[in-house]
Amino acid sequence: MPGKSVARKLLDSHVVKADNGKRGMKGSEILVRIDQTLTQDTTGTMAYLQFEALGVPRVKTERSVSYVDHNLLQVGFENADDHNFLQDMAAKYGIIFSRPGNGICHQVHLERFGLPGKTLLGSDSHTPTAGALGMLAMGAGGLDVALAMAGFPFSLPDPKVVRVTLTGRLQPMVGAKDIILELLRRLTVKGGVGKIFEYGGEGVSTLSVPQRGTIANMGAELGATTSVFPSDEVTKRFLEAQGRASDWIPLTADPDAAYDEEISVDLSALEPLIALPHMPDKVVPVRQVAGTPVDQCFIGSCTNSSYYDLAVSAAILRGRHVAEKTSLVIGPGSRQTLLMIARAGILSDFVEAGARILECACGPCIGIGQAPRTGGISLRTSNRNFEGRSGTKDALVHLVSAETAAASAIAGVITDPRDLGPVPLPEMPGRFVSDDSLFVFPKATGENATIRRGPNIAALPDFEPLPASIEGEILLRVGDDITTDHILPAGSKIMSLRSNLPAISEYCFAAVDPSFPARARATGGGILVGGENYGQGSSREHAALSPRFLGVRAVIALSYARIHRQNLVNAGILPLVFENAGDYNGLKQGDRLSIVDVFGGLKADRFEVRNVATGKGFFARHGLSDRQVGMLLAGGALNAARRELTGI
């Protein structure tokens, strides 16, 4: 028996049951016990409504945290109402509540709650950030997190483990961001689907936990199931500096550990990189586009907003000023970071350099404030540069390290930070400020407080079981890499409706075809056709719930992103895959399709799909486990779980 990787150790210590006992088989999934969960406000409201519907009196996890970090802009009653609802639900069900202003869930979880050796499931696709601590941390739809809080195991397609060997050491002004951009350049946004990326090699010990966090965070952009780092001396020092020394355990790969694939990156050879609009994998060296005028630089988001990111940016800015036509925006990732930069004088460095300071939240990353000008060029340290995500449809968002963003803000043009000459690099602090006063810890016995439910919080709809046959029009036929931002855009206005499915469904596919909701309603629902990697990006289950609410019962695509595929199953939508990829080309919007025998197809994993007008047919498969098929038959995972809990 070969030794085990960190990922295998984490999986094996949490496996509850293997679906069919065989690894890598179509439809095979593994079920893992979940120790911790996290939610954020824009996925949390729906997750807690679903948790409530399960009728379980208190969470069964070791630790569950409800963060309020996304939609903090309070331009109407909706967000404040949602925040109150989340706080009351947390108190009632035994969940730690992280109040607005405390910071971005992934940064704060890394600082205060993540534990090596444990599992974490979060209703946000960047939950893998905590993989930096040697955790198995995965993103999922809100319902999966609700089920985990109710004690159900989490199912995932049995992943391959890729060993990423890091050698050498980063040169000054080259950041952890450049490591993950290099992987995106090589592997693309589809390259990580079905895989866990495990980092090893001597280069790992040169990276701090927040740097590891940047890499694990953007593993989500590779489409990876998650990313993991070992829990080593660096992890130990980080936890000690957080006042959490007793939370450390060692967790490393066995020397003879087996991996499914291996790649290596020489850190010494890396240079500053930049992802061009509009995909995180359109990566080129910064030098290649240097000199392009820049309207805006944003240093923040869950990817690069740690103390070190801000300290190194301030070191670059110190004694200099932002260019006249460039706006520099700073969003500290957590209240801890904000306090630390305030005490260290870094905050005044920013203010003196002419930066604009935001509260600790997602903000510009998700189009909540600081939308660039028409056609504006924005350099951001965030993780996604999908078209329109910044709030300006034709803005040209580029992804860079904090170093590159700071240097470009001074120069007013895209700048390789090495061109500014030597900058004194900051040290990682030996002790972080740990002020937990913006957490509300639940009482041991729970509270019977009334839940404040604002008028924007709508009741959950009842979803019908799957019918015996599905006939409908192709409402949309889209291409490859369609993101959940295409299916259900983010931004302040639409995100305020996350707790109101009927209202938010009016924006389904708003970025692709605003007539979609009306057409879906007019035809009583229909079928969606997608290309490769359908539903990549966020974990928002609303991208499945909204089409379902509008009557969609099936999607036929070339392939899916993991979280979205499960969200479709959870919502009771059949996620089918073309048996013959060529059949995708033969379909167009408006064609009427009939999936003849749904139950037979589910059983045999082969569906005959007929084009009603031409009579021509093709075949599609689901590749799902029996458990997932059960969910579909029940009309979604909530119905199936309720049945299991009540025995009816």
* Catalytic site includes residue 124: yes
In the numeric block, which tokens belong to residue 597?
């025998």
From the list ligand MIC, ligand SF4, none, pick the one residue 42 interacts with, judged by a Cβ distance below 5 to 8 Å according to partner type: ligand MIC
Q: What's the CA gap between 328 and 351, in Å, rounded?
A: 10
384 in active site: yes
Whether 158 is catalytic? no
> Is residue 79 at the binding interface for ligand SF4, with CB under 6 A as the rule?
no
Residue 301 interacting with ligand SF4 (CB under 6 A): yes
Q: Return the H-helix or E-strand segment holding 37.
A: strand 36-40
483 binds ligand MIC (CB under 6 A): no
Do β-strands 261-266 and 160-167 pair in parallel, antiparallel, or remain unpaired?
parallel
Residue 126 or 160: the one with the smaller Cβ distance to ligand SF4 is 126
C-alpha torsion angle, residues 251, 254, 257, 261 (rounded to 10)? 40
Asked if residue 545 binds ligand MIC (CB under 6 A), the reply is no
Shortest Å distance, C-beta 366 to ligand MIC: 5
Please, what is the minimum distance in Å from the beta carbon of residue 529 to ligand SF4? 28
Out of 5, 36, 39, 42, the residue judged to bind ligand MIC by CB under 6 A: 42
Q: Does 106 bind ligand MIC (CB under 6 A)?
A: no
Residue 366 binds ligand SF4, judged by CB under 6 A:
yes
* Helix and strand counts by DSSP (H, E) for the chain: 22, 27
Q: For residue 64, what are the contacts with CB-CB under 8 A and spacing of at least 6?
A: 36, 37, 38, 39, 93, 94, 95, 96, 149
Cα–Cα distance measured from residue 585 to residue 600, given in angstroms and rounded to the nearest whole number: 26
Residue 565 known to be catalytic: no
Tell which residue, 305, 382, 318, 306, has the closest CA to residue 346: 318
Q: Tell me the C-alpha distance between 435 and 335, whole Å.
A: 9
The nearer residue to ligand MIC, 138 or 187, going by C-beta atoms, is 138
Catalytic residue flag (residue 538): yes
Which x/- pattern over 358-397 shows residues binding ligand MIC (rule: CB under 6 A)? --------x-------------------------------
How far apart are the C-alpha atoms of 232 and 251, rounded to whole Å? 7
Which lies closer to ligand SF4 via its Cβ, residue 155 or residue 225? 225
- Closest contact distance (angstroms) between CB of 244 and ligand SF4 is 23
Tell me which residue of 207, 104, 195, 184 sits closest to 399, measured CA to CA.
Answer: 184
For the chain, the C-alpha Rg in angstroms (whole number) is 24
CB atoms closer than 10 angstroms to residue 113: 23
Asked about 373 being catalytic, the answer comes back as no
- Does position 382 bind ligand SF4 by CB under 6 A? yes
For residue 601, give both structure tokens: 């197809």
Map residues 120-139 to x or -, x wherever contact with ligand SF4 holds by CB under 6 A: ----x-x-------------
Name 261's bridge partners.
162
Cis peptide before 321 (omega within 30 of 0): no
Copy the structure tokens of residue 153: 């195991």
Stretch of residues binding ligand SF4 (CB under 6 A), selected from 238-246, 362-370, 614-622, 630-638: 362-370
Tell me which of 107, 119, 226, 539 binds ligand MIC, using CB under 6 A: 539
Q: Which is nearer to ligand SF4, 494 or 629 (CB)?
A: 494
User: Of the ranges 144-152, 277-285, 417-425, 535-543, which one interacts with ligand MIC (CB under 6 A)?
Assistant: 535-543
Select the binding partner of residue 561 from ligand SF4, ligand MIC, none (C-beta < 5 to 8 A, by kind). Answer: none
Closer by beta carbon to ligand SF4, 497 or else 529: 497
- Find the catalytic residue in 212, 477, 540, 565: 540
CB of 35 to ligand SF4, least distance (A): 21
546 binds ligand SF4 (CB under 6 A): no
- Considering the rule CB under 6 A, would residue 302 count as an interface residue with ligand SF4? yes
Our finding on whether 540 is near ligand MIC (CB under 6 A) is yes
43 near ligand MIC (CB under 6 A): yes
* Marked catalytic residue, from 125, 378, 538, 539: 538
DSSP tag of 464:
P
Binding of ligand SF4 at residue 371 (CB under 6 A)?
A: no
Q: Is 87 in the site for ligand MIC (CB under 6 A)?
A: no
Is 98 a binding residue for ligand SF4 by CB under 6 A? The answer is no
The token duo for 592 is 């009427």
- Going by C-alpha positions, the residue among 61, 179, 81 that lies closest to residue 442 is 61
Distance separating alpha carbons of residues 511 and 525, to the nearest angstrom: 19
- Residues 112-131, interacting with ligand MIC (CB under 6 A): 124-126
Residue of 14, 63, 70, 553 marked catalytic: 70
CB of 126 to ligand MIC, least distance (A): 5
Q: For the range 440-443, what are the long-range contacts, defined as Cβ-Cβ under 8 Å and sequence gap of 24 or more?
A: 440/87, 440/90, 440/91, 440/96, 440/97, 440/99, 441/96, 442/90, 442/91, 442/93, 442/94, 442/95, 442/96, 442/97, 443/91
- Can you tell me the distance from the alpha carbon of 621 to that of 627, in angstroms, rounded to the nearest whole number? 16
Backbone φ and ψ for 199, nearest 5 degrees, come out as: -95, 135
So which residues are the catalytic ones? 69-70, 124, 384, 538, 540
| Chain contacts with ligand MIC (rule: CB under 6 A) | 42-43, 70, 124-126, 139, 366, 490, 537-540
Contact residues: ligand SF4, CB under 6 A: 70, 104, 124, 126, 301-302, 362, 365-366, 382-383
